[in-house]
Structure 1
Amino acid sequence: MWLSYLNSFKAYLQLERSLSVHSIAAYLHDVALLEQYLQSNGLALSPQQVTLTQLQGCIHWIAGLGMTAPSQARIISGIKSFYKFLLLENIITEDPTQLLEAPKTRRKLPDVLTFTEIEEIIAQIDLSTAEGHRNKAILEIMYSCGLRVSEVVNLKISQLYFDDGFIRVIGKGDKERLVPIGRQAIQYVNLYLETDRRQLNIKRGQEDIVFLNRRGSGLTRVMIFLVIKKLVQQAGIKKQVSPHTFRHSFATHLVEGGANLRAVQEMLGHESITTTEIYTHLDREFLRDTLSRFHPRF
């Protein structure tokens, strides 16, 4: 009964959504679970006949199988996509999944470095090495501007407006934004540009890239991750630290200091303010931690 609908859904995912084989298999598996639930309860229903009540029963059944809340949410998302497809194809006139709610999943708050920890990490950089000034400039600009690692590796000299105290960043979706940069970060980026970078045999096409490897080519995201991982180990810091941790720390420290959330959104390049609002949650965690450590009756 469901096979023809699943085949049409598969073709839609392949041709119109251009999803990977793995993603398509996941979607089909989600819908197959709904069909399995109906069969196990003796409900010989077509997709058009399924109601919200049966869908809620299916979710309850899935939860009983021991699946975690994130797994349940993913399955619900797959089933919702199937019914949106049926609606798009005029196979159904009303979407029964419209009021279907996913279980609440607690968003894991990322690790955040204190300012002292950031200074300890940067202090591990050996400035006598060929890459020392470059690595220091990278970490300073990541923390000063809250950049994504992809924005760091793609940063161009022509995007640096140090006289005005800004850099022009190309973020997700090729969206541009102007981000203020601190005096200390400017100092260390200029030091790198005027010393170590000048000694490199820069490859053709890489002349405008700020941060280069010893062969004169642009850095990879992985390379920056490995640099930070080594420095964190040397500093003896046990937190899970990645390049993105510097971005989280930049935003968290601004919010803790009382910065306007809209301004933080602009600096981070978030399309929606709701994405930036995670830092208000981080701020509340900071307040709670402060209270628990220093209040005698907490």
Structure 2
Amino acid sequence: MPKGIWYRKTLSLYLEGLFSYIAQMEWDTAIKNFSDYIKLERAMADNSVMAYTSDVTKLYQYADMAGWKKGPLEISANNVENFLTYIFRLGMSVNSQARILSGVKAFYKYLLFDEYIEIDPTELIEAPKTGRKIPDTLEVHEIDNLISAIDMSTDEGIRNKAIIETLYSSGLRVSELVNMKLTNIFYDIGFVKILGKGNKERLVPIGKGAINSIRTYLEEVRGNMTVKPGHENYVFLNRRGAQLTRVMIFTIIKRLAVAINLKKKVSPHTFRHSFATHLIEGGADLRAVQDMLGHESITTTEIYTHLDKEYLQQVIHEYHPRS
């Protein structure tokens, strides 16, 4: 590589890193000042302070993931709209979206009040309408009720509990679940290797509850089955020893919903949205959730680099309701 090109590329990378660092420092300072303001001058309770600062931190995380290199004072109304679209596409409930927007609005009102900015970028942004079509998200107690409705005296019940636990514990797509392989479960580190969309592999943390349910199923049920040739490596099998179909997973979930008289429209994807929503609402890092879901980057050309696997495992342990 010619020396001039190498120098320009090195300088470009240095400046990019510098701008990112400056933006991070600006966000950190502004969020801390905002936290102090609402705690001391508005006398908010500690839980409210944490919720508000968590909402603003999510906006910063999105800005960082989008590569904007912008501090909080440079954020535009369009930037905020893009952020709201992003959390909508994650499947967050309307109430959760509205609450996050409320925290962001409070942040910019503070910046306007203290004369850091002259125009509030969130002023004309309205809360999401309840009529927007987004998938239903289950509450934690509703998931617990679904699991409690499973008849654990049957082989199918033991299998079905492992299926529900795995869907909710890891946020898998239904196609990823039915194609799970025995050789891709790493019990010692608490991860499962998944082949997602576009044949892209990723490691996904799986909770202890799901691991225990899978082990129980493998030991008490699957280990005693006659498995059809070619299906030996699939985790979840039907009573004939063959790989489960997507339709069967839908049927299992629908029957459980009827059993507990659940009025919400549920599907395997409902657990995926619930997984993401509960982690984010609990305070998990947006990038970590994005990585675990196997989503493409919010930009059109890049795929996020996988985060440190110990960090993803920590996110699951700290923020997942059933961990």
**TM-score of the alignment, normalized to the shorter chain, above 0.5:** yes
Residue 253 in 1 paired to residue 298 in 2?
A: no
Instruction: Give the corresponding residue for 1:200.
Output: 225
Instruction: Give the corresponding residue for 2:172.
Output: 147
Of 220, 241, 265, which aligns to 2:245? 220
Runs of 4+ in 1 over 2 A off after TM superposition: 272-275
Of 175, 179, 204, which aligns to 2:204? 179
d(CA) in 2 for partners of 1:113, 1:205: 36
TM-score (norm 2): 0.52
- Counterpart residue identity of residue 189, structure 2: D
Percent identity of the aligned residues? Answer: 61
Alpha-carbon deviations, 1:125-181, whole Å to 9, x = none? 101112111100000000000000000000000110011111101100110110111
3-state SS of paired residue (2:209):
helix
3-state SS of paired residue (1:168):
strand
- Counterpart residue identity of residue 278, structure 2: H
Alpha-carbon deviations, 1:69-91, whole Å to 9, x = none? xxxxxxxxxxxxxxxxxxxxxxx
3-state SS of paired residue (1:131):
helix
Root mean square deviation of aligned Cα: 1.6
d(CA) in 2 for partners of 1:249, 1:144: 10
For the pair shown, the structure with the greater C-alpha radius of gyration is 1
d(CA) in 2 for partners of 1:128, 1:247: 27
d(CA) in 1 for partners of 2:133, 2:299: 16
d(CA) in 2 for partners of 1:164, 1:120: 29
Q: How many residues align?
A: 171
- Counterpart residue identity of residue 140, structure 2: F
Alpha-carbon deviations, 1:221-268, whole Å to 9, x = none? 000100100000111110000010000000000010011111000000
- Counterpart residue identity of residue 187, structure 1: N
Residue 270 in 1 paired to residue 310 in 2?
A: no
Whether the 8 Å CA contact 1:262–1:273 is kept in 2: the answer is: no
Q: Which sections of structure 2, spanning at least 5 residues, go unmatched?
A: 1-128, 301-323
d(CA) in 2 for partners of 1:260, 1:274: 18
- Following TM superposition, by how much is the alpha carbon of 1:107 offset from its aligned partner in structure 2, in angstroms? 5.3
Whether the 8 Å CA contact 1:265–1:273 is kept in 2: the answer is: no
d(CA) in 2 for partners of 1:221, 1:274: 30
3-state SS of paired residue (2:276):
helix
